[in-house]
Amino acid sequence: MDLSIVIPMIREYPQVINTVNSIQAELGGTELDYEIILIENGVIDSYTDKFLKAYEVPIRNKIIKYEFEPNQCGPAARMKGAYMAKGFYLMFMDAHTVCGKDSFKHLIDTMEKKDAGIAYGATVKTHWVPPRVRGLHYRLFGNRGPSFNTHMHGAYSRPLVETPYKCVCANLAYVMFKRYEFLAFRGYHPACRFYPHPEGYISLKYLMFGRQPWAVPKAYHFHSVYRIPEAHNDEAGEKPKWPITIKGDPYNLVGNDHLICNAMICAYTLGGEKWLEIVYDSWARRVRSKYLLKGIRDYAREQAQEEYEWVQRNKLHTLDEVLTQARLERVDGMENWFSAIGDDPLD
C-alpha cells in the first residue's frame, strides 16, 4: 500500500465528514493505493454509530478503518493509527481539515526528491492566495507567544516562497513520514497526555537522528476556524485531569499544566537536565506556584527516563548540536537564538 492517512478525532462531527470526503475526492482519481484510519480519542461521540453506518461500504472494503483510543492524547491516537497502518507513507492530519489540490503528491515528491525525513504541509484558514496567507514552519525563539523553551515548538511563520525548503519544525496538522522510519524512531512520546503535544519533539528528534524536515508550501490544507471549545471535556462536562504525585501527595494537573508537563517530558527526553531546567526556568517567570512547577518537573523526569535513555543511546547529534548547526546554516525556524543554550554561533 502507498499511503496511510491517520486522523485522530474528539467530537469532530460533522467536520470529519468533510475531511474524509475531501481525501476521497483528492485521491480517487490517482494511482495511489490508500487507506484512511480514524482514531476516536478519549470519548465516543453520540454520532459515531451513524457515521460508521454511513461509511459502511468503504469500511467493509478496508478503505476506511476505525478504532477507539481511550487515552485522551493526540500522540497516543496517532501512534495507534501508525501501528495499524499498512502504507509506505504515513500521513497525519486533523479531523477538521480539507485537502488542497495535489497536496499529497507535493508531499510525496518532496519525500523522494529531497530525501526528506518529514514533509510538512502549509495551513490556511479560509482562502488560498499564495504566498502570504499560509502558516508553515515554526520560528523557535524570540516570540511573544509559544517558543521552544516554553512549549517545545514555536510561532507560525509565513513562507514567501513556493518551493520546498529546509526547516527546523512546523505544524503537525498536515504532515508526512515514511512509516518504517517513523516507527523505528519511536514516533511520539509515550508519556505525554492530553493536549497540546509539543510539536517540535518529533522534528528535533529526527534532526538528532540525522534526518532533515522539509516544509512544502504548495501542499496546503484548509484548517477549520470552527472548533468546539468543550470538545475535550468528559461526558459530565468536566475538564480532563492528569493525576500525578507531588512529594507523596496526589495532585490533578488541569488546563495549562498539561502543556507544561508535556513540554518538560519532551525537553528532558531530547536534552536531559539542561533542557529540563531551561523549560522550568522559562515557566518559573510566568507561574506563581513553584511547588507545583517543581512537582511537574520531578514527575516529567521520572516519566521520561526510559525514553531519554533510548534517545541518548541511538542519537547521532545532541539537541544543542542540531540547534547550533541549524543556526549556522540559517535554516528556517532558527532566525533567533536563545542565550540559555550558549553563545550565539553567528556572533
Between CA 180 and CA 187 the distance in angstroms is 10
Average pLDDT over residues 55-83: 95
Question: In 132-234, where does DSSP find H-type helix?
Answer: 148-151, 179-184, 200-208
Residue pair 16/96 in contact by the 8 Å Cβ criterion: yes
**DSSP H or E stretch at residue 263:** helix 256-284
Q: Work out the pLDDT band at 13, boundaries 50, 70, 90.
A: confident
Amino acid present at 249: D
Asked whether the predicted pLDDT for residue 240 surpasses 90, the reply is no
Q: What is the pLDDT of residue 159?
A: 86
Asked whether the predicted pLDDT for residue 229 surpasses 60, the reply is no
Residue pair 338/221 in contact by the 8 Å Cβ criterion: no
Between CA 141 and CA 211 the distance in angstroms is 22
Between CA 139 and CA 147 the distance in angstroms is 8
Average pLDDT over residues 52-72: 95
Q: What percent of the chain is modeled with pLDDT above 90? A: 82
Between CA 213 and CA 120 the distance in angstroms is 8
Q: What percent of the chain is modeled with pLDDT above 70? A: 96
Average pLDDT over residues 59-68: 96
Query: Which tens digit of pLDDT belongs to each residue from 299-342?
Result: 999 999 999 999 999 999 999 999 999 999 999 999 999 999 99
Within the chain, all domains assigned CATH 3.90.550.10 are found at: 3-223
Between CA 257 and CA 293 the distance in angstroms is 9
Average pLDDT over residues 236-245: 82
Average pLDDT over residues 2-18: 93
Between CA 289 and CA 302 the distance in angstroms is 20
Q: What is the pLDDT of residue 231?
A: 58
| CATH topology classification for 3-223 | Spore Coat Polysaccharide Biosynthesis Protein SpsA; Chain A (3.90.550)
